[in-house]
Structure formats: structure tokens, C-alpha cells
Structure 1
Amino acid sequence: MEAAHRSPGFRRWFNRRGWIKITIATPYVWLSLFFLLPFVIVIAMSFATRTPTAPPFSFGGDYPVMNTNHYARLIHDDLYVRAYLNSIGNATLATLMCLLIGYPMALGLTRVSRSWRNVLLMLVILPFWTSFLLRVYAWMGLMGTNSWFNKLLTGAYNWVMPADMALRYIPMMNTGFAVVLVTVYSYLPFMILPLYANLEKLDLSLNEAAMDLGSRPFQVFRDVTLPLSLPGIIAGSLLVFIPASGELIIPSLVGSSSRPMIGRVISDEFASARDWPMASAVAVALLLLLVGPLMAYTYFEGKSLEKKKAEGES
């Protein structure tokens, strides 16, 4: 009887607003189970002590509360310092290259007809239809010493440079250049799509008004289009920079062991060295390094919007 009385009440709650609350709560539950909880485990593991057991870490012993030696090693060990600097440097360069290439492409997509726009958008998304690993292997073949791509670049170099500086081939594999090149190719769509979504919403009448007032095309772009597209630039840059900083596959296949990146260091600590606490500390530090500036930007951007809103109301 009690269950029968409860059932109509539950149905009324579900039909009115219950399904909305469940729909909204579902992604939060998903993030809590598959992001927040694993992240808490990784944080806890970073304060553990390495042991020869399975799993290879434990709590207690010489460090009854927490072991902070792993975080101290991040500062004093040259390997981790170089890995962080290499990762941030390569990710920054790749992000700038993606922006320089992707912005004109996204702007061009907004200026073509609807029929051509759909075709060009499909070409931008087309690389995602192929395995990421297969695309990296394709670039390994292109950058090989006997590939047509390498021979073409070598021929162009020898044609420009003096004869005494001629090369038999250009060494591209296992270099920082190869890492940046493949990263730009792999993450370029993540820059183009947010920029296109932002630029498509711009009111072209603003450009026409600026030109009617005497502005030249470059001035219109500098004073109107570029400032209004900043949200798309920021979104695209974050979508490229954050995953590129922790990239593992690309530096492992085309990079050099003398220039380690932090993703490969984390993988080696987990798999080869079996130092899970150290690997966890490296991962936590990388996340804080990436999320910290993002949270600061979000905070100050929110303050700026509130200030502008207050000024507009006054």
C-alpha cells in the first residue's frame, strides 16, 4: 500500500521536473565517476611511497602522513624541468602555427557560398575519419630520408643554398621540428572549428560601416574582426595547447629521446620504471600548470564582464 501511494507522487515529480533534473545531473555524475574520482586517486597516489609490491606503492612507513619527495624532485631533477619546458615550448609553437594557418582558413570558410562551405568543412573534418596513429605513421614515412617529400625539400634547399652547403637529405625525423609539424597537422582542425563558429556569427554590416567611414580592409580586420574573434581564438588555442602539452604518441614516434616531453616521461615512469607515485606527481603538476592559468583567466574575464555590465547599467 505504501509503495502504491508513493508511485503516483514519483510519476508526478518525474513528469513535471524530475526528468529535467536527472538530465542535468547525468553529466555531473559522469564527470564525478570518471574524472573527479580518478583524479583524487592520482593525487593520493602522488603522496604515496614506491614499493616492490603490486600495486607498486604504499602509504605509511617512513612517511606516515604523506610523502612529498616526489614533488621536490620535480624542481631539482633536470629531467622533469627539461620535459616541462620542452612540452610547453613545443605546444606553444604548435598553437601559434595552428592559429596562423587556421585563422585565414576559418575566415575563408565564412566568405564562401553555402555549397562550398559544406564541402570545405567536410575536408577539415576528414582527417578524423582516419586513425590518429595511422596518420602519424604516414608522416614518419614522409619525413624519412628517402621519401619524395624529403627529396623535394632537399632539392629546394640545394637550389637556394651554395653548392658547398648542399645536403644529401634533410634530417627531419627524431627532431623538435618533426614533433611540432605533426602536432600542427593533427590539431589544426581543433583550431579551425572554434574560429569558424565564432567568425560565422559576426555581423558583416560592421565591416561595411567601418569601410564607409574610411577604414581600409586591413584596418577593418584589425579594429573590428580581430577583436570580435578573440573568444574563438582563445577557445581554439586552449583546445590545441592543452592536449599538445601532454601529447604522448607524437613525441614517442617522431621525437628525440634527448628532448623528452612530459607525456612520454609519465608513460615511462608508469610502465618502465614502475614508479607510480612519481608519475602521479608529474601528472598532477602538469594539470595544475595547465588549469591554473585557465582558471585565472576565467576569473578575471568574469570580473571584467561584471564591470562592463555594471558600467552599462549605470
Structure 2
Amino acid sequence: MPDTQHPDTQHPDGRPARPGHPAHRRPDPAARRRTRLLGLAVLAAAVLGLGAWLVTALVGDPATGGGAADPAAAPSAVPVETVALPPLPAVARMPDEQLRVTISDLEALVREDPRAVGPGAGEVLDSLRRVELLSGGDQRSAAVEAHDAVAAAVEEGVVAEPVARRVQEVLAAVVRPQRLIDLVWTVDVDPPAVGPAGPDLVDDLLALDHDVPADRTADRAAALLADVRAAAGRGELSPVFGDAAVPTLEQLADPAPYRALQDLRATAEADPDAVGPAADEVLASLRAIAELPVHPQGEEVAALLELVRRDGQVTAEFREAAVPVLVPLYR
């Protein structure tokens, strides 16, 4: 008699199935498709799970902001705690002295703790040493490039900002001109080094220094000053060069020194005896100064100052009146 409670324990032909084994059935196509789909779903889930695990391991958990360390990025990171260079000593007053001290201080800091400066320390030192070896316009031009390179290194995070600040201050002092001719030489060495506007400034600066007569100096300097400020505003001039050029051009654009010269000349011509024994030489020099362009004018001013300060050449009253007028014209 068929087992009505456990129908699956018998074969379709009525033979009893072996204990523990289900009876043989005809395959159900729908069931096979469901089984196949279920297997594919399980496999897909496993693949996705493995992919998610790999992403978390390599990139990090976005929820925590974590991630695997990038070995290539590690050397370029400036440490959180940085050490600044010591203050410049009071005895280091001249730019070349300050430069020498800065190189020495930076070398010592790198030996003690290279990470305090950052991975860009070597390039900074190389640029400072190069500036130290040069002179004149070559030195100022190299200082402009070094200053801009340090600023870029800070932005890239490869030089500590406190160290860079001291280096840039010293380089700015090197760039700063004493006379207009210093600006001319700085640009003339390598015009693009001061910025895209550099090549256009060479001829204008040179003309102002050597060609423009004294009575037109203020007007031409004012026009050139406007050009420099406009170029700096457009980002076409190195900031350190712009900072050096503007005060010099502002001084030249001021008409007051030339007016004071004319007044001194008129006073001396009105009463030569009040000038002193060297009245003729003084008057000739004053007339030349009133006509010469900036550079030769400065040379004439230096010679006249030497004469005026020499004992027995002019009266004390004329000396007191002349020196404050002449000094601003050495530019």
C-alpha cells in the first residue's frame, strides 16, 4: 500500500526509496531557472561585497574620512610644528650681511631638523647661495627670481611659511634699489624675470634715467609709475619688483625737489657773495643739475655735495640751505 503520509519515500513506479534518500522526480524547468537565477544573484552579491571591501581598504571609509597613506605624498608635506629662523642680529644692517646670516641660519636649521623647513629647503638654500655670489643688477635679478620661487614653494606646501617669511624679507632688501639706475640694471639683466611686463619697462626706465631732462622728469616718472602699478595690478610684474620700483618712481614723480632746486639756484644767483669763495663753481653746478637727466644729475649732485661740505668753500649759511635741497636729488 502506498505511504500516504510520506509520498516522497516511494519511486513513481511504486518501489520504495532507500531510507534517507528522496524519491527521484522529473526535473522541473521553472525550478531550475529559479535556482540558476538565485545562484547568479549570490555570485553578484559576493563580487560587489569584495569590491566594496577593496575600495575601503585602498581608499578609506568615506564616513570617517580615512584612507590609505600615499607614500609619494608623504615627503612633500611640511610638518605641523615648524621652527622659524632666529631674528636677524642688530649688527647685520646691510642686505648682503643679512643674506649671509640667513644662509648660515638656514643651513644650521636644516642640519638640526630638515623637516622643520620642508622638502624644498635644498632649493631655497641653492637660490640664496647663488644670489650671494652675484652683484649689481645680476644679484637683484636673481633675488627677484628667488623671492618668487620661495612664494611658490609656500603655496605648494614644501617650505615652512615662517622660514619663507624671513627669507623673503632678506631677498626684498637685496632687490630694493638705492637709485633709479639699480632698477634699470635689474630689469635689463633678464626682463622676463621681473614679469611679463618686464621687456616693456626696459626702454622707459633707461630713458627716464639717461635721456629725460630735469624739468620733465616728474611728469615722465608719474606716467611710468602709473604703468608699473597697472602692470602689477594685472599680475604682470613680480610683487617684490613692484614693491621696489614704486617708491623710487614716486620719489621721481614728486616735483617738490626740482622746485626747491630752482629756488636755491635763484637765491645763489641773486647774491653770489652769500655762497662763499666757490660761488662760481657752485652756480655752474646748480645750473647743470637743473637740466640733466636723473643719472648724470645724481653724479653732479654728489660732486657738489662734496664741495659744499668741504671747509672753506661755502658759507655755513649756504651749506645749511643747500644740503637738504641736494640730497633728495641723488636718485
TM-score when normalising by structure 1: 0.26
Name the one with the larger helix percent. Answer: 1
Larger Rg: 2
Bigger RCO (CA 8 Å, 6+ sep): 1
